Amino acid sequence: MKKTISVLILLCLTLGTLSCAKGTDCENTGNESVMLEAGVTSASNGQKPQIPNSDYPDQTRSASSVLNVDSFDALITFSADSININGSGAHAEGCTLTVTSAGSYLLQGKLNDGQVIVDTMDEKKVELVLNGADISCSNNAPIYIISSPKKTVIKLYGDSVNLISDGAVYENLYEDNPSAAIYSKDDLEISGGGELYVSANFDKGIYGKDDLKIDGGSIFVNSAGDGIRGKDSVCLSAGKVVINSHSDGLKTTNAEESDKGNIIVSGGELYITADFDAIQAENSVEITGGIIALSSGQGAENASEHSNFDDWRHPGRQESDDGKAHHGIKATVAVNIFAGSISADCSDDCVNCDGEINIRDGSIYINAGDDGLHADSSLNIEGGYVEIERSYEGYEAKSISVTGGVSLIHSDDDGMNASDPSYSGGGMWGMGNTDCILSISGGSSYVYADGDGIDSNGNIVMTGGVLIVFGPESSGNGAIDYGDGACNMSISGGLLLAVGSRGMADCATGKGQQVIFASTGNIQKGSVVAVTDAKGGLLIAFETPKTIQTIVFSSPFLTNGEKYSVYSGGSSTGNLESNVYVGGLYTPGSLVTSVTATENPDASGGSSGMGGPGGGMGGPGGMGGRPR
């Protein structure tokens, strides 16, 4: 699991004059170990979201603490089909309570088939304090806030348990007929320390048509439609929210105003099980704290089947069987994750944005039926910890930038894919699109991919950080893949290890930093593989999780023109972190090959068949390159 993440520091240590004669151990030079130790992480099976039970209880409970009744403007007691009011500011007609003045109102008891209505023009807040209140309405919203210019606060008193439920059919009783069990046309806030259970059988559970704020209490919503919706915003800063929704879980809808339609989570706990999107914002989602667990579309195991040729410019992206999206987090403009703990199990993308995704801190665990993180524009990983246990593609965006943090990615297709589905330039498959870029300048990234390990329809640029890629066994993909034409992968800093199949192998080009490319033949899954220098110093050792045929390796400590050896077999005493040994001694196995470090290693012959260079059906001069 996740270990402490320290800042990546490239220490310029002097290469030792270590020997590694046949039959003796090779000692790590220390340089690569320092880089790896800066952000080591162990591959794990992760943890699916743990979502609490939200079952509707049999009865209410009043708070155990003593109430000061005199502190309220009115004490309101429900008794089946009658309402008793002790105080001012509200009146009752049958089973309908109407609050007409700002103030604080204590509600308790059971109201059968009635309503609580707030309708005031006062510029002060209305506070409805629930203390063991059970309010049901068979044909409309049990709580309906028609007008409350300041705001209405629903306070859950002490450790009370409160119940709100509606019927499956609403009658059109009002000009603006409600569509939620708790429905507010003005700002709504929910606070306190008690529990609130909402059983919404008609449509939504809680709906605020302006801003909706939750800063306390434990709220459990079971809904036929959206769980909780705030038109202008939803803000969660404290408390616990558990949603079980047959539509979207937590949602905003205002698309007309650029500063509206936002969801902000700064604290508390949020648990959502949704048939469609768990969190959906018309504008942006911002997470700066809290614990979040999401499940949508019955999880990744319920994902639609994928094919590399579903859409040759955007492979694998297809609509689900019901025509709906099943994302964990979905936003139109931006998703900003700056802190907090998130786990998501989704049949579609776990995080999806039409604009940009920015991750600066926090921890994210992902189990995705489609992409782990998908942005149409840019995806920026600046810090934090991201573990993608399952995905079709791990990271996907037109522009991907990794400047910090730890990324651990497992994917059925590409691990990181910089692509632009709107691009249609050149040939059957198109030439390279230089607008697409994958940039690695910091952090530690570990990629396990059955398709391309790292892929860009344009260029790949690496200037720092640690990038470990365990690419495909299939000859139709490569550990490294970049756009056709003049596109390439350039490396001027950092540590790169990319291993995979031979058929479509691309290589990095050094830009002030040396690279080695080794064609190894078949090295079987589970083998220990090592790269040593001419003096026997160990540069890197790893245990390959799959059969490999090529190795691309680069670090600041390679020397131009020097020979480096690749060994298979043997053993290491180092700590195995995500299949890479950190520190320790390596006892050599069999020498596989020796290669020379250069800025422009020769990887010719690394591609063959339909997609290889040199014509035929797939290469330049033929029908065009393979789909990227």
Q: Which residues of the chain have pLDDT under 50?
A: 1-19, 21, 308-319, 426-430, 605-628
- Residue 177 CA to residue 163 CA, distance in Å, equals 22
Taken as a whole, the chain contains a residue count of 628
pLDDT score recorded for residue 317:
45
pLDDT score recorded for residue 20:
54
pLDDT score recorded for residue 32:
84
Q: What is the DSSP letter of 598?
A: B
pLDDT score recorded for residue 321:
54
pLDDT score recorded for residue 16:
32
pLDDT score recorded for residue 191:
98
Helices (H) and strands (E) in the chain, counts: 1, 52
pLDDT score recorded for residue 421:
75
Strands of 356-443, DSSP E = 356-359, 363-368, 373-375, 378-381, 385-390, 395-397, 399-402, 406-411, 416-418, 437-440
- Contact, 214 vs 245, CB < 8 A? no
Q: 155 in helix, strand or coil?
A: strand
What pTM was estimated for this model as a whole?
Answer: 0.90
pLDDT score recorded for residue 66:
83
Q: How is 20-65 classified by DSSP, letter by letter?
A: --TTSPEEB-SHHHHHHHTT---------------PPPSS-B--SS
